[in-house]
Structure 1
Amino acid sequence: MLGVNTNVNSQVAINALAQNEQRMSTAMNRLSTGVRINSASDDPAGLKVASRMTAQINGLEQAVTNATHAISMVETTEGGIREISNMLHRMRELAVAAQNGTNHAKDIEAMQAEFEQLQDEIERIADNTQYNGINVLNSGADRTFAIGALGESLRVNLFDFQTKNAAVTYAAADVTNGSDKFTKADHGFSNGDAVVYNHGGGTAVTGLTDGTTYYVTEISGNDFKLATSYDNAVAGTVQAITGDGNDAQTLTKVSAYGGNIDKTTISVNSSTNAAAALTVIDKAIAGTDGSRASLGAALNRLNYAVSSLGNTKVNAEASRSRILDTDYGAETAELARTQIIAQAGVAMLAQANMKPQSVLALLKG
């Protein structure tokens, strides 16, 4: 049918051009940004998946950063312990040498002077070794490192390397047996600290054994509880107590040395004292070696964690790329196709607009 009021062919051409323009615009956006999904309408499901994977990748990146910082802290700690270990070995040499019957009194004085200097330096290292402003050798505190994208963590005990820890008295009034807790202002303990209970010659707290090592847990202000093992302390499994004990009982924090190695405890100023010091130093060396081994195991785990996180991140990025990134081969072909169709559409629109003019030929005839 010939008509002039409605040009159907022109409307069809205009509609086809509009649709083609949209497809061409999408192809140009993808080519210019390098991203396949530039708006939610491009691929709603793909956008949701890509967003979730982006969150995972960001979490993995932060976990890698956390783990590398943890490695630095543990390496700093282990480095300080290594120097302490070297000095303990030198102290042991002096303790052995001081027992030799060929020593002159001046020799003993010189050995004792060096021995005391080493004790002072060990204490200085313990008090001043820091990472990011955190003392790592004089608290014995646990550090929890977030090493996973979903908040997985690794708990590491940094141990206490102070040369002396004094016994702290806990009166019966400081013990609350109904809730298994001890109370002392400024007790100075951290979760996981090893402490030795001593009843002081009186009635022991029911549930605790004199001379036994326990582990601090569930610290809340001035209150804390005890566990029978480090693992139980971490898990929050407390030792039940049903009695208050007496007013002379004590808790003594246990250092990594297994005892005190300060000037008032050991010396080499006589053959007898040197022999006693040798026993203490051997125990301290064993404790120090155990601490280093524990930190070494943690370092290995952290290094493996960084490697695993890196691999997971690469795979996650590759998966997201397949969803989110532009396929330049496909999109350049799409752009060329839509440009050709646009040119053809414009030509056909011109032809459609010319069609009503054929009516004039009929009218002239």
Structure 2
Amino acid sequence: MQINTNLDAAFTARQLSGAENTLTRAYRRLSSGLRINSAADDAAGLAISERMTGQIRGSRQAARNANDGISLLQTADGSLSSVSDALQRIRELSVQAANDTNSSSDRQALQDEARQLVQEISRMGETAEFNGEKIFSQSHSSIGGDPNKRAVLDGMRIGWLSSSETRIAQYYGIQGGGEKMYIGVSSFTDGPGNIAAFVGPPSQPGYFQDLQVDMADATPANLPNGGTYPFYTDRTVMHEMVHAVMNSAITQSVPTWFKEGSAEFIHGADERLKIDIAAAGGGAAGMAAVVGSVNGAGWASDSQHYSGAYVKVRYLHDQLKAAGAGGIKGLMQYLNKNPGSDLDTALQSLIGKNLATFESDFQANGVAYIQNRINLTNADTGAVGGLDADGGPEQTADSIVPFGGGKGYDPNDVLSGFKETFENLGGGAGSRQVSFQIGAKAGENLQVELGAVNAFALGIDDTDLSTGAGASVSIVHVDEALAYVNKQRARIGAQLSRLETAVTNLQSSEQNLIASRSRIQDTDYAAETAGLARSQILQQAAGGLIAQTKVTGQLVLGLLRA
């Protein structure tokens, strides 16, 4: 027995201390609701739970960000809806103005309303804001691209091509066989005053041929005719369409004078002929020079040769009519249906003369033909089917290619005989990039593109309803603007749907993370209260036993008394 060291008291004190520590920890957990109140409670658990807390709070803020983004896009969509309504009204006014029952004052009234709507579209696009920031891009880049090129393509889409095809089918009886044709305005130029347009080999794989317009000869476009006397882009396009259709419908080789003369005869070339006769000295001598320029198979691409070819084909047209062969139309159809024959064979079959005899007749009678059959003083152009050539309606430089005539405007299907592709001018309204942070980590964002919607960007700043031609152009431009706005709205709608999905996903992720963190960090009250009761009992028991450990010392005193 010893008194310096009371092992029982030491052991009991240690147990009491442990019970008190356990009791203290239970009190902290039960009072705070947290299983981990300091790093000492669970170092690894603390690190994991804190990382989860960052993810939870980041997800919560990302959801708020996404909801803010939804609000911004809803504001943008509301503005675009108003722009769309204004565009629909401008289109309605354009359709009304295109009707020739309207007087000049009527069209001016329509133009005044349209101008106000155009200005309001610009105002909405330039002032729409969210939280003090402009919503849309403020760029003035046009969806139509270069205005002159756009005007020429508009002319071809709105009527030049379809009117040409219709006229060729009516008076020549032939049309394309469904081949692919590329139509461009940027790939060719030889300067002003030379080749204004051409049909030639395809510039891209898979196409049958190209139709290219030289913008050096078509600027400014001056719709609806594409120019003024003596140059008209619409007639140039009709000329080239004859080549395009003949390339498809007539596979055999024919003389150049026949191809070029037919292309001139479709729209008439009296103005050119008059100028070339004067340039060659005028009178009979000038006429003889024009006729003689197409004597035989030789060809030079100058204006005199084109005039000579025009007169020669027109002379042939009358010869064919006199023989009951249906004029130039009968010849074109014969060549189309008899691909094994040449022009010589066709003429022998239709007028009983071979090509050489016809050539001699024309050289002998060409000057007299111009003097007696071609009227160079009236407004008729001398086109096939017109007043001078066939006793039909007068065909003037303005009326020969109806603007908005033919098949009509459809950007995907202008022609019946060809599958055409128009050059993409590369025009586009500027756009503004907006980034929405929709995740808890860096880089978890959504890029949103908001384009410009002012009148310049939409390509409607030059809307002109004061003429029927201007109204037709306006319909086309408004359709393009509506397609652009609708595309914007569709993209915004998709992004709204994505953001709403992102919010739902963030909320679900947050809920799951909270549940995971709770299992690590939160107090289990059932377990802790059971532990508390146990610790309280142990504390009380240890306290009582410490008192009992004094008995050993009392026994030692008893021994000493003895």
TM-score, normalized by length of structure 1?
0.71
1:32 corresponds to? 31
Partners of 1:120 and 1:353 lie apart in 2 by: 103
Partners of 2:128 and 2:550 lie apart in 1 by: 86
Aligned mate of 2:447, from 141, 151, 155: 155
1:340 corresponds to? 537
Secondary structure of 1:83's counterpart equals helix
2:118 corresponds to? 119
Identity of aligned residues (%): 41
1:290 corresponds to? 487
Q: Do the aligned residues in 2 keep the contact of 1:78 with 1:295 (CA within 8 Å)? A: yes
Q: Equivalences for 1:50-89 in 2 at 5 Å?
A: 50-89=49-88
TM-score, normalized by length of structure 2?
0.47
Give the Å deviation of 1:108: 2.4
1:13-43 CA distance string (max 9 Å, x none): 1111111111111111111111101111111
Partners of 2:554 and 2:65 lie apart in 1 by: 76
1:241 corresponds to? none
Give the Å deviation of 1:355: 2.9
Q: Which letter does structure 1 place at the counterpart of 2:56?
A: I
Partners of 1:150 and 1:138 lie apart in 2 by: 28
Q: Which letter does structure 2 place at the counterpart of 1:308?
A: N
Give the Å deviation of 1:330: 0.3
Secondary structure of 2:434's counterpart equals strand
Q: Equivalences for 1:39-50 in 2 at 5 Å?
A: 39-50=38-49
1:190 corresponds to? none
Q: Which letter does structure 2 place at the counterpart of 1:267?
A: D
Partners of 2:117 and 2:97 lie apart in 1 by: 15
Secondary structure of 2:550's counterpart equals helix
In structure 2, the gaps of 5 or more residues are 139-430
Q: Do the aligned residues in 1 keep the contact of 2:104 with 2:466 (CA within 8 Å)? A: no
Partners of 1:111 and 1:354 lie apart in 2 by: 117
Q: Which letter does structure 2 place at the counterpart of 1:315?
A: N
Q: Do the aligned residues in 2 keep the contact of 1:137 with 1:162 (CA within 8 Å)? A: no
1:250-280 CA distance string (max 9 Å, x none): xxxxx3x3xx211xx1121222211111111
Give the Å deviation of 1:285: 0.6
Give the Å deviation of 1:361: 2.4
Secondary structure of 1:161's counterpart equals coil
Give the Å deviation of 1:358: 2.1
Q: Equivalences for 1:108-257 in 2 at 5 Å?
A: 108-139=107-138, 140-151=431-442, 152-164=444-456, 255=457, 257=458
Give the Å deviation of 1:105: 4.0
Secondary structure of 2:40's counterpart equals helix
Q: Which has the higher strand share?
A: 1
Partners of 2:479 and 2:500 lie apart in 1 by: 31
Secondary structure of 2:455's counterpart equals coil
Secondary structure of 1:156's counterpart equals strand
Aligned mate of 1:304, from 501, 514, 523: 501
Q: Which letter does structure 1 place at the counterpart of 2:558?
A: A
Superposed CA RMSD in Å reads 1.4
Partners of 2:551 and 2:59 lie apart in 1 by: 63
1:196 corresponds to? none
Partners of 1:106 and 1:335 lie apart in 2 by: 96
Partners of 1:354 and 1:127 lie apart in 2 by: 96
Partners of 2:466 and 2:54 lie apart in 1 by: 64
